[in-house]
Structure 1
Amino acid sequence: MGKAAKLLKPMEAEAYLAWEEAQPLRHELVEGVPYAMAGASRVHNLIVGNLYAFLRPHARSRGCRIYTETVKLRVSERTFYYPDLIVVCAGEPPHTHYEEAPCLVVEVLSEATEAIDRREKLWRYREIPSLQGYLLVESRAPRVEAYARGVEGWLYTLHEEGAVEVPCLGVSLPLEAIYEGVPLEGSGGAY
């Protein structure tokens, strides 16, 4: 005989935050439903580390905070994500475990997360009033897709060489800095 069905009830923010603190794995909350997160690859971790190392001094010089992977971003009443990198230049955070007013969000693409990062998160992140830029960083080849808030709306640019402009920090981020020491598929070694 099968197990009894359980009624799925969406979690409210405070219940999720308390529950998440006690979990051995991280969970994102999407419209009140928690989803376990997959572990990251070595390449993913190296790219996030490179991004943090390059952007941190620029963020600090502007009085901004920068976070990687373990600080939640609240995007609505019942949706929280763990972006790969967040830059916040607003006042004090509203809570000890999340931010809600980023100027930059970065997601490193993987096969497991790419569709969500390109559709669901792109749509939700662009609704954040403080957000000035969203970067999608490829983990298999040197490639960055940049979305920047402009006067007339969101602008998209593709970068496969050179540098990416980081809107809220006013800095050019070279692809070489992102992929330094990162073994890419088919490259025969590190970038």
Structure 2
Amino acid sequence: MSALKKEKKYTPEEYLALEEKAEYRSEYLDGYIFKMAGGTEAHITISFNAAKIFADKLRGKCRAYPSEMKVWVEKVGTFFYPDVTVVCGERKFYKGRRDIVENPILLIEVLSESTKEYDKNDKFLIYQNLESFQEYVLISQNQPAVQQYIRQTDGTWRYKATIGLNSEVTFESVETTISLSEIFDLVEFETEE
């Protein structure tokens, strides 16, 4: 993630106005705008698969959105584009805008080399400011592996990792089990020679 114009701070409204006209997507953090990098074929395929699987499995109960849906974290003044956003029950939209939600229960990020440490650490800490947020999922694009952080009743987070195409992962926040072979369908992993 690289700052677009570090010297100038923008209001949320200025960011949103710029974002509507921009040729690329960017995220907003503490008044600064950060250009997002493009995704690889594996990243795009995994994101699509996950959004479609959740949309199909949660139909009528929750809504799953692909990466075009922004998430607003009010306490930190941040707009992010998670790869998949799941909202259950009534949706709360930022100032009535139907492209920005404020109450996700589950967020998924497909890890990229350039942002994986940021996604695992800083972004996760920011997302924790959302009261509705119950589960954070990090999906590798280099191997069939899923990492989960699940909020406990005492406010702590439990870590769980699932590895291997023959494995299944249970998403506790939405009570749904999915095989890794579904998530990684059509993904070609690079093999070491």
The structure with the largest alpha-carbon Rg is 1
Deviations 1:32-90 (A, max 9, x none): 1001111111111111111122111222231x221111111111352110000000114
The one-letter code matched in structure 1 to 2:8 is K
Aligned-partner Cα distance in 2 for 1:7–1:26: 16
* Partner residue in 2 for 1:108: 110
> TM-score if structure 1 supplies the norm length?
0.88
CA change 1:92–1:122 in 2 (3 A) is closer
Aligned-partner Cα distance in 2 for 1:39–1:28: 13
* Partner residue in 2 for 1:186: 191
Report whether the alignment pairs 1:71 with 2:85.
no
Aligned-partner Cα distance in 2 for 1:182–1:22: 32
Shift of 1:18: 1.4
The one-letter code matched in structure 2 to 1:30 is L
Aligned-partner Cα distance in 1 for 2:148–2:56: 21
* Partner residue in 2 for 1:120: 122
Report whether the alignment pairs 1:158 with 2:161.
yes
Instruction: Decide which moves more: 66-75 or 84-93.
Output: 84-93
* 3-state secondary structure, aligned to 2:136: strand
Q: How many percent identity over aligned positions?
A: 32
The one-letter code matched in structure 1 to 2:63 is R
* 3-state secondary structure, aligned to 1:83: coil
* 3-state secondary structure, aligned to 1:91: coil
Contact 1:12–1:78 (Cα < 8 Å) also in 2: no
* Partner residue in 2 for 1:52: 51
CA change 1:187–1:180 in 2 (3 A) is farther
* Partner residue in 2 for 1:3: none
- Corresponding residue pairs, total: 182
Shift of 1:7: 8.3
Unmatched segments (≥5 aa) in structure 2? none
* Partner residue in 2 for 1:32: 31
